[in-house]
């Protein structure tokens, strides 16, 4: 591959701001890579929508990022990865496609010592059974225990990251999963890394938390290497943030996820 091809950006997308946790992990793991991020803030959240609607929105975003000449596509939204990954692969014209479910499932299976793995996510992700299916393909001996946690996203967006309400909610959601004595717990939603300290407390020291933002960045690094697409140097990496709406509190919430300033945000009208 030529340096020009390697200097193209990585395209990362999500239904809203949650995927910025993946961007943050990518910036840390691959500081030379440019990134163009798309967040569908006008239509968020996807986790409560039908499969047909999610497929339609996903195709539209994929086309948009392909027009931006990306060298890799990362589905940083568990809901889209769970129900519409096929759509992205079909449209990608040979460009590598990664997603948070593939990354999280691989990491969980390769590090779980007791073969008992918990998964938490939005109702759509959990009902799709995508994590359990992928983990069973990778290792048929694992037992997977899943739990939908619909209140975690609004609690994170409220900023109640360490609040008695969030703790009580986490205790209630995690109770059935912890009763199965899981050794690992996959955070199957890009909002959940912000709850890591609280979830570590509630789950206890015996449970390893799998942060799919971190595992996705790791998988991206491997895949770029394999394809000879790793950028080797040159000008500073370029970061672009594109959204379909700039809602109230967007800057505050976005920067909480990204862990730094967003800079200028571009808005598209659909």
C-alpha dist (Å) from residue 133 to 32, 136, 139, 140: 34, 5, 10, 9
* The one catalytic residue among 189, 198, 202, 229: 189
The alpha-carbon radius of gyration of the chain (Å, integer) is: 18
| Minimum gap (Å) between residue 167 Cβ and a second copy | 10
> Nearer Cβ to a second copy, position 40 or 99?
40
> Nearer Cβ to a second copy, position 62 or 169?
169
* The one catalytic residue among 25, 30, 77, 182: 77
| Minimum gap (Å) between residue 263 Cβ and a second copy | 19
Q: What is the C-alpha separation between 16 and 39, in angstroms, rounded?
A: 4
Single residue of 1, 28, 53, 180 touching a second copy by CB under 8 A = 53
Write out the two tokens for 44.
């968020």
C-alpha dist (Å) from residue 124 to 45, 84, 120: 11, 12, 11
- Contact flag: residue 84 with a second copy (CB under 8 A): no
Q: What is the C-alpha separation between 244 and 240, in angstroms, rounded?
A: 14
Judged on CB neighbours under 10 Å (0-12, 13-18, 19+), 130 is: buried
Instruction: Mark whether 149 is an active-site residue.
Output: no
Of residues 90 through 109, those in contact with a second copy by CB under 8 A are none
- Contact flag: residue 50 with a second copy (CB under 8 A): yes
Single residue of 27, 29, 49, 265 touching a second copy by CB under 8 A = 49
Judged on CB neighbours under 10 Å (0-12, 13-18, 19+), 107 is: buried
> Nearer Cβ to a second copy, position 62 or 124?
124
- Contact flag: residue 42 with a second copy (CB under 8 A): yes
Decide: 35 and 89 in contact? Cβ < 8 Å.
no
Of residues 140 through 199, those in contact with a second copy by CB under 8 A are 150-151, 153-155, 157-158, 160, 164-165, 168-169, 172
Collapsed DSSP state (helix, strand, coil) of residue 117:
strand
Instruction: Mark whether 189 is an active-site residue.
Output: yes
| Minimum gap (Å) between residue 249 Cβ and a second copy | 7
Please state the residue numbers annotated as binding site for substrate: 14-15, 46-47, 78-79, 190-191
The alpha carbon of residue 213 and the mean position of all alpha carbons in its chain are separated, in whole angstroms, by 5
Collapsed DSSP state (helix, strand, coil) of residue 148:
strand
| Minimum gap (Å) between residue 194 Cβ and a second copy | 16
| Minimum gap (Å) between residue 56 Cβ and a second copy | 9
Q: What is the C-alpha separation between 105 and 122, in angstroms, rounded?
A: 16
- Contact flag: residue 124 with a second copy (CB under 8 A): yes
The set of catalytic residues is 77, 189
- Residue ranges binding a second copy (CB under 8 A): 41-44, 48-50, 53, 123-124, 127, 150-151, 153-155, 157-158, 160, 164-165, 168-169, 172, 245-249
């Amino acid at each position: 591959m030529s340096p020009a091809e390697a200097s193209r950006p990585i395209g990362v997308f999500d239904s809203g701001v949650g995927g910025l946790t993946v961007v943050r992990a990518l910036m840390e793991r691959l500081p030379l890579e440019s990134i163009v991020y798309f967040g569908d803030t006008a239509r968020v959240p996807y986790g409560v929508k039908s499969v047909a609607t999610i497929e339609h929105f996903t195709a539209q975003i994929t086309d948009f990022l392909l027009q931006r000449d990306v060298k890799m596509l990362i589905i940083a939204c568990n809901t889209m990865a769970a129900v519409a990954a096929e759509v992205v692969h079909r449209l990608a014209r040979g460009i590598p496609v990664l997603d948070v479910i593939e990354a999280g499932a691989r990491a969980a299976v390769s590090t779980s010592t007791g073969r008992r793995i918990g998964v938490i996510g939005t109702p759509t992700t959990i009902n799709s059974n995508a994590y359990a299916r992928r983990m069973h393909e990778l290792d048929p001996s694992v037992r997977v225990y899943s739990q939908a946690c619909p209140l975690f996203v609004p609690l994170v967006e409220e900023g109640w990251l360490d609040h008695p309400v969030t703790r009580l909610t986490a205790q209630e959601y995690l109770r059935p999963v912890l009763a199965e004595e899981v050794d690992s717990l996959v955070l199957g939603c890009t909002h959940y890394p912000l709850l890591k300290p609280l979830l570590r407390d509630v789950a206890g020291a015996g449970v390893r938390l799998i942060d799919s933002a971190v595992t996705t960045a790791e998988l991206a690094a491997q895949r770029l290497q394999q394809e000879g697409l790793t950028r080797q140097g040159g000008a500073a990496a370029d970061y672009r943030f594109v959204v379909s709406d700039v809602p109230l509190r967007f800057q505050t919430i976005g920067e909480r996820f990204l862990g730094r300033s967003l800079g200028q945000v571009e808005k598209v009208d659909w």
